[in-house]
């Protein structure tokens, strides 16, 4: 018999047997860190009700609560008007099976196989769902190299309040996360969400969310910035009761975010885009609508300081917040301004029955070495602001906007009181082309083959429109 082989096999078995204990220690360390992070947040608390670590598994129960009473009290809400007699809380249960070979709810390879579930029995007086299911369930595996994969779910549920005639119906959702290199890819979907109260109602269908991120659960909870991409889509939305019983319908409403971190420059850039394919309502119809905003050169130290400030002021009386804000600005704003932040409208467009338009704008603060004597000093900010913008519209849209402007101007005159609707419109139709021609002669707009465009620029405290200088009342002398 090969004794070295037997010895090697024996050592391997010992290693496999001892490893779960040390991995269990890692679970406990991460668990304690997460509890500490929750308790550092102003309005959240986490109380460990039980923690039991065995050789191959760990079981824990944690009571999670939100201090709504303190939050509302800081906003000077009378205790008699508070919606809760006690702060709402739930109990989360963690069951973890330690690897590298784990057993329990499943068998496989990995550092940890875990389940986190929230039974939510404390919520059943207000929320209704299948009594055999937890209100939240998350099951996943931490791989041997630290990658995380999991699936989570919220069941179909409803919320009703007869006193307020308020109802919420949610189909529930399922999500799945898988590792992708250094990132985690998360996708989730739900069929429907509806809300109604008195004469107002809103119905959403086919909700989905895709996300790619590098951060951990703790970083997400803290609100830290980390590299991520997010895409949420609502296939259809119907809102009734905004004005009377009229209905507004929206198709393919989406929100996109993209956060990038530049570690060398210690800055972050965030892109946000709101878009919808179509909106139809009373006296309202538009298609191909989008707004894209890029916020660049955010200083990470400033963002961290703001997170701490925001957390620390949640529970202080609201009348004390302005003074605290000024203290924060004086101590931290210059750090952000030196990073030369940008706020750019990269995309703004829409098509309406009258025509279509597109626009973009770029703004950047530059060469700031000290704060102004007063933040309201407009001349100071203009001196350090670089900006340019362009607006393009087809002829039909430009004429429609000009016509609406002319109608408003005409209605403000005494002569309009004795004019019929037909006479008013005829006067507007006659004057609109002349107004557009005048604007073009003055250089405020430029006529193109497709319609009209306007370019604006601000540099070194001087503004221009289509190359024509425009005096600014607050420009530096």
Neighbour tally for 395: CB within 10 Å: 15
Give yes or no for a contact between 312 and 296, defined as CB atoms under 8 angstroms apart: no
The pLDDT of residue 147: 80
- Helix 421-441 crosses helix 395-411 at what angle (to 10 degrees)? 120
Kind and range of the H or E run holding 254: strand 247-262
The pLDDT value given to residue 14: 39
Adjacent-strand bridge partners of 137: 117, 153
More confident residue, 59 or 416: 59
pLDDT for residue 12 is more than 70? no
- Please give the pLDDT value at position 195: 93
* Average pLDDT estimate for 309-321: 85
The tens digit of pLDDT for each residue in 223-264 reads 678 899 999 999 999 999 877 778 999 999 999 999 999 999
Distance CA(69)–CA(91), nearest Å, equals 19
Lowest mean pLDDT: which of 11-25, 139-153, 303-317? 11-25
Pairing of strands 157-161, 166-170: antiparallel
- A 10 A CB-CB count for 284 gives 10
Give the list of residues 6+ apart from residue 103 with CB closer than 8 angstroms, or none.
Answer: 56, 97
Cα atoms in the Cβ-side hemisphere of radius 13 Å centred on 180? 14
Own/partner contacts of 343-347, CB < 8 Å, gap of 24 or more, are 343/293, 343/294, 343/295, 344/293, 344/294, 344/295, 344/296, 345/291, 345/292, 345/293, 345/389, 346/271, 346/292, 346/293, 346/294, 347/273, 347/290, 347/291, 347/292
pTM across the whole model: 0.86
pLDDT in tens, 79-122: 666 566 677 788 989 888 876 766 666 666 667 888 889 898 88
pLDDT of 450: 86
pLDDT in the model for residue 217: 67
Q: Which residue has the tokens 């073009």?
A: 440
C-alpha–C-alpha distance, residues 119 and 136, integer Å: 7
Task: Give 157-205 pLDDT, tens digit per residue.
Answer: 999 887 778 899 999 999 999 998 888 999 999 999 999 988 889 999 9
Residue-level length of the chain: 477
Q: Which of 60-64, 388-392, 470-474 has the lowest mean pLDDT?
A: 470-474
Average pLDDT, the chain: 86
pLDDT at 2: 53
Q: Is the pLDDT of residue 414 over 70?
A: yes
DSSP letter (8 states) at residue 450: S
Res 82: pLDDT: 57
Higher pLDDT, 243 or 279: 279
Is it the case that residue 15 has pLDDT exceeding 70? no
- Burial category of 85 from C-beta neighbours within 10 Å (exposed 0-12, middle 13-18, buried 19 and up): exposed
High-pLDDT (> 90) share of the chain, %: 45
Q: What is the mean pLDDT of residues 369-391?
A: 93
State residue 80's pLDDT score. Answer: 61
**What's the confidence (pLDDT) of residue 143?**
76
The token pair at 404 is 């609406």
pLDDT classification of 418: cutoffs 50, 70, 90: confident
Sequence-ordered alpha helix ranges (H) in 267-418: 300-312, 321-338, 378-383, 395-411
% the chain with pLDDT above 70: 88
Any residues with CB less than 8 A from the CB of 307 and at least 6 apart, and which?
Answer: 222, 223, 224
Q: What is the mean pLDDT of residues 203-208?
A: 96
Among 68, 77, 72, 84, smallest CA distance to 122 is for 84
| Alpha-carbon radius of gyration of the chain | 30
- For residue range 423-445, what is the model confidence (pLDDT) as tens digits? 889 988 898 989 889 888 888 88
User: Under a CB-based contact definition with an 8 Å cutoff, are residues 133 and 124 in contact?
Assistant: no
């Amino acid at each position: 018999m090969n004794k070295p082989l037997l010895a090697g096999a024996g050592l391997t078995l010992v290693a496999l047997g001892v490893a779960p204990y040390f991995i269990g220690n890692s679970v406990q360390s991460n668990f304690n860190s997460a509890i500490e992070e929750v308790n550092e947040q102003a309005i959240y608390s986490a109380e460990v009700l039980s923690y039991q670590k065995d050789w191959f598994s760990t079981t824990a129960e944690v009571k999670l609560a939100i201090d709504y009473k303190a939050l509302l009290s800081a906003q000077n809400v009378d205790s008699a008007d508070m919606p809760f007699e006690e702060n709402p809380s739930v109990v989360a249960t963690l069951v973890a099976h330690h690897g590298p070979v784990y057993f329990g709810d499943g068998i496989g390879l990995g550092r940890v196989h875990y389940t986190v579930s929230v039974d939510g029995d404390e919520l059943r007086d207000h929320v209704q769902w299948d009594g055999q299911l937890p209100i939240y369930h998350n099951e996943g595996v931490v791989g041997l190299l630290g990658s995380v994969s999991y699936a989570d779910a919220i069941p179909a549920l409803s919320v009703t309040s007869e006193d307020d005639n308020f109802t919420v119906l949610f189909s529930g959702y399922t999500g799945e996360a898988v590792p992708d290199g250094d990132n985690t890819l998360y996708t989730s979907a739900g069929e429907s969400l509806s809300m109604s109260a008195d004469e107002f109602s809103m119905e959403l269908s086919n909700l989905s969310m895709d996300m790619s991120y590098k951060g951990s659960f703790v970083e997400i909870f803290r609100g830290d910035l980390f590299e991520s991409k997010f895409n949420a889509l609502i296939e259809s939305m119907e809102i009734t009761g905004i004005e009377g019983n009229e209905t507004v319908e929206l198709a393919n409403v989406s929100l996109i975010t993209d956060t990038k971190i530049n570690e060398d420059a210690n800055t972050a850039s965030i892109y946000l885009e709101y878009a919808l394919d179509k909106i139809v309502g009373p006296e309202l119809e538009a298609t191909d609508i989008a707004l894209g905003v890029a916020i660049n050169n955010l200083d990470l130290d400033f963002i961290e300081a703001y997170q701490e400030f925001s957390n620390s002021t949640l529970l202080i009386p609201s009348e004390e917040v302005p003074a605290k804000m000024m203290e924060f600005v004086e101590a931290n704003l210059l750090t952000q301004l030196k990073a030369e932040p940008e706020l750019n409208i990269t995309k703004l467009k829409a098509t309406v029955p009258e025509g279509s338009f597109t626009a973009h704008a770029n703004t950047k603060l530059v060469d700031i070495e000290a704060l102004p004597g007063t933040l309201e000093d407009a001349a100071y900010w203009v001196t350090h602001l670089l900006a340019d913008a362009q607006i393009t519209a087809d002829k039909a849209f430009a004429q429609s906007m000009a016509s609406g402007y002319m109608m408003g101007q005409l209605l403000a005159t005494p002569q309009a009181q004795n004019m019929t609707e037909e006479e008013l419109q005829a006067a507007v139709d006659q004057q609109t082309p002349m107004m557009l021609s005048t604007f073009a002669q003055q250089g405020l707009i430029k006529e193109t083959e497709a319609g009209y465009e306007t370019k604006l620029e601000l540099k070194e405290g001087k503004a221009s429109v289509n190359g024509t200088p425009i005096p600014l009342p607050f420009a530096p002398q």
